[in-house]
Each structure stands twice: as structure tokens, then as C-alpha cells.
Structure 1
Amino acid sequence: MSSCTAIFLSILLFFFVRLFFVVSSSRRIRLAAANSRPLQTCSIAIFLGSGGHTSEALKLASALDFSRYSPRTYIVSEGDSFSAQKAHALEHIKATEHVFSDDHPQYKLLTIPRARRVHQSLLSTPPDAVKSLLACMYLVSVRPLFKKGAFRQPFADLLILNGPGTCVILCAAILLNRLIGLPSPRVMYVESFARVKTLSLSGKLLYHFSDRFVVQWPDLVQPGGREVYRGCLV
């Protein structure tokens, strides 16, 4: 066996061992532990996947205590003006309810490239997926390093996902962060209300990599699985 082959196999072995420990630690995380510090705020990021996904995600967000879950980051796909408008509208409604203790905006809107457009061919998808991954890596890995007073702090304490495909790329960037030891947000995946009997493709891909996996229908709960069922949330 050549030295190059031995080095390659050693790196590959290290990668899989590291991946195993990252996935194992994700399973042990309990997001409810944050409730033990009720006086502290929790920065939150929410991916708005357009259409029904956006409506469900914002419905979840509207139930939060904005005075505690602050600041908020809404992540939308490129060209999704609908989700951006809905996020601004929710923040405006909350502001009129005098939720905030000051007049400064407590939220921001970030845009990332789509991993795949509707009806896009599979052959043309990889370049767009790579472009989306690089943008997500900048968001979760590079950008926090240049934020004043936020060294070794993730771009958000908690990230909520509920599909579609671009959220898988976003989660992949966070997984890469964990593999190299950079700070990362906790990830909560909430399966869409429309998924009654089977998980979505995004849900199947992120099942083992999310810190908390929430379903909204009892038929999705598997014996010995890691799903959390709390009834219909949206």
C-alpha cells in the first residue's frame, strides 16, 4: 500500500469517526434544556421554504415569545419575495402588539441561492446545489467570525427547518461546521403538516442529523424512533 493511499484511508477513517460522534451527540441534545434559563434570550433562525412551507414556519414563529426569542433571522431562497413579505408582515404585527422593549429592529432577512428550482433537470442541479452550499457555509461559518463581540458564537442559537430541499443544504453546512469543531446552532426540523403517513424527502435526509425531529401526525411516530409528537402545531 502506497503512502498516499494510507494517508487517504486515514483521513477517510477520521472523517467517518468524527461524523459518528457528531451524529451521536446530536441525538443526546435536548432543546428543552434552554427552558432552564428563562431569563436569557435565544437567538433564532427560521428557514422559509416558500408557499405552504413558509406559512407553516411563520405560524410556528408567531406562537413564540418575541421578547425572549430575539434577535430573529429569516432565511429565504433567492427570488422568493412572497416569504420575505410574509416575514416583514409578521414582524410588523408583533411590533404593533408592543412586544419589543426598544425601537430597534430585532430581526433581519437573509437570502441564499436555491439548491434546485421547480422542474429543474437533475443534470443542471449540482452546480446550483454547490452554489447554495457555499452561500450557506459563508452564512454559518464565515460571517459569524467577523461579527463584533461574537467570537465562537453561532449565527443563531436555534435553527428551525420544515423543508423543502434548500434546507437540506443549509443543514449540510451546519454539519460541516460541527465536523471541524466550529460553533453551530441547534437544529429543529418540524415535518410539514401535509405529511400524514410518510416523511418527506427532506425529513428522511435530516432525520438523523437534526437535534430535535418533530412530527404533527401520530402515524409518523415509529417504535423506538426519535420523532417527537406534540399534536398539530400549525
Structure 2
Amino acid sequence: MTITRAQGFTGILARLLGALMILILPLAGTAIDHPPLPAEDAEAWTLRKQDDNIRIYTMDQTNSGFQAFKAVAELAVPIENLMAVMINPESCKEWVHNCSESFAFGQSDFHDRYAYSVNDMPWPVTDRDYVLRIRTRGNADTGEVFMDLNAVPGMRTEVGSRVRVDRSDTLYRFTPDGNRTQMVWIQHTDPNGALPGWLVNNLLVDIPIKSIQALESVAKEETYQGYRLQWSDDGKLTGVVPAER
């Protein structure tokens, strides 16, 4: 099959956007100088694409040329498996599209932790890196788990060969339904660099679809079986632990 120059250019741009859209976690004790993420039930969400069990919505953002997106997915995997993936600081490489490096750093616990990750960018664009603060909380009455992710670029020294992303806000909500889980993922990233907003907005709907499909597959692997959510007597989520504990 012959690939035209336009098709090749489109493919490079798609990879570029994928590299920018990292998963990843609102921010306690730190000032936020930009608007919060839009509400999950806001009327301004527009359905852009549906792929089997995944729906992608987008919304324009004030003072930004880049839209926010909302992904809603019904995953055929228990919430315990998904959370076992999410608490692994290196799992970004397994399911987030184009994530090439990820690890935890600094003092942290289950509820409040830090992670560093790198997105592999197609040549000649410079790789992007993220420094994230991740907060996790749960609701014992519903069994839901929430994860809030925010870029905190000043928490780690910049690497000269990479461009630091200084604005990325994400919310994950996982709701159990027997052996299935509903996932809601809301994100707005304002990437550094000369990327036209219209182009990013036209491509970004495919990135969460690829990542969610990979997450569902990874959560079914043997490595992430045999876990349970641990709750305190007062209904707070305290960890994700092996089922025999």
C-alpha cells in the first residue's frame, strides 16, 4: 500500500498528540492559577466519537486553545484489577499511549503521591515530561474510587533534553458494577510548544480510546489479579492490597 506524504504527516501528528496526552493527577495545599476542570455533567460537553464501549466528549476551555475531553467507558474488568494497575507507578508504560518512562519519587503514601513520566515524541519534536501530584480517595457507600492528577512542574529539576509540561489536570472516577467497572476520565492539558489548537482538538479523541482499551487489557493480566480495596471503619479508602490480607 502506498502512503502519501499527507498521510504520513497525519500519522506523525497523531503520534505527537498521543505523546502529549499522558495519564495521569485537584491539588491540595498548592495554588492553582487556572480554571478547574469542567464538571462531569456540564451541558457544554459535545459527543465527538463512540467506539464500542467508549464515548468521547469535548469542550472548549476559557483562555486556552486546547479543548478538555471526557471519556466514559464500560470496562469488562472488576474495579480491584483496575486499581491494582493504577497504584503501580510504572504502569503508565503499559497503558498510557506513548508513555515511555514512569516512576514514583519523593515521600508519599496511598492518598497523596508524586510521579514522573516521559512521553516519547516523534523526531524532530523534543520529548515532553510530566511531574504529577496524585491524590486518591474513595466512597465506601458506593464503592467508587476517585483520582485527581495535576502537573506540579517545580517539584523536580528539569531535564535539558526534555520539555516540561506545566499544565495538565485530570480526574478519574471508577464505579464498580459487579465484575465490570464504569470509568470516567476528564482531562485538560495545555502542552508547551508550537502545536496548533485546531489540530490537537481534531485528533485528541482517539488518544483516550487507545489508552482505555489498553488499560482494560492490562487489567486482565495475571500480574493484576488477586487484589481488594481496603476500607477503614469510618469508610475511608486506605489502600489496594492482596486479597489474602
Question: TM-score when scaled to structure 1?
Answer: 0.29
Which is bigger in relative contact order (C-alpha 8 A, separation at least 6)? 2
Task: Compare CA radii of gyration and give the structure with the larger one.
Answer: 1
Pick the structure with more helix per residue. Answer: 1
Question: TM-score when scaled to structure 2?
Answer: 0.28
